Every structure is written in structure tokens, then in C-alpha cells.
Amino acid sequence: MYWRKSSHSGGGDGDSCVEIATLPTRTAVRDSKFPSRATLSFPTASFSALVDHLKASSVEELR
């Protein structure tokens, strides 16, 4: 499984974010500060909808 961080993971050592791994039908999420702990996984469509909503909310806040 390949984990990746957001390009918006913040300053410092970049451990103030979550990491995601794309699976065939799900997206897994884990805390970058504690990668050996439990992960959450969501159906890919649900995770994509969440990310789209967060992006739209961020744009609205900037207006």
C-alpha cells in the first residue's frame, strides 16, 4: 500500500496531516504522526465527495 501526504500538510516536518492510500474500491486514511496505529477506510466515492465538499467550503470561506 502506497501512502501519500497532502501538498498542504503544513510547515515544519510535515507531520500535521493525514495520509491517504488509494485501494481498488476504498480510500484508507491514517494519522501521519502515528502511522502504525489504526487506519480508517471509506468507499472511494464517499471519500471523494468529502474532499470535494471541503474544497468547496474552503473556497466559500475565502470569498
Quote the pLDDT of residue 63.
55
Alpha-carbon distance 14 to 8, whole Å? 9
Share of the chain above pLDDT 90, in %: 40
Quote the pLDDT of residue 42.
96
**Residue range 21-26: average pLDDT?**
95
pTM of the model: 0.73
Quote the pLDDT of residue 59.
63
**Residue range 23-37: average pLDDT?**
91
- The answer to whether residue 12 scores a pLDDT higher than 90 is no
H-only helix segments in the chain? 44-62
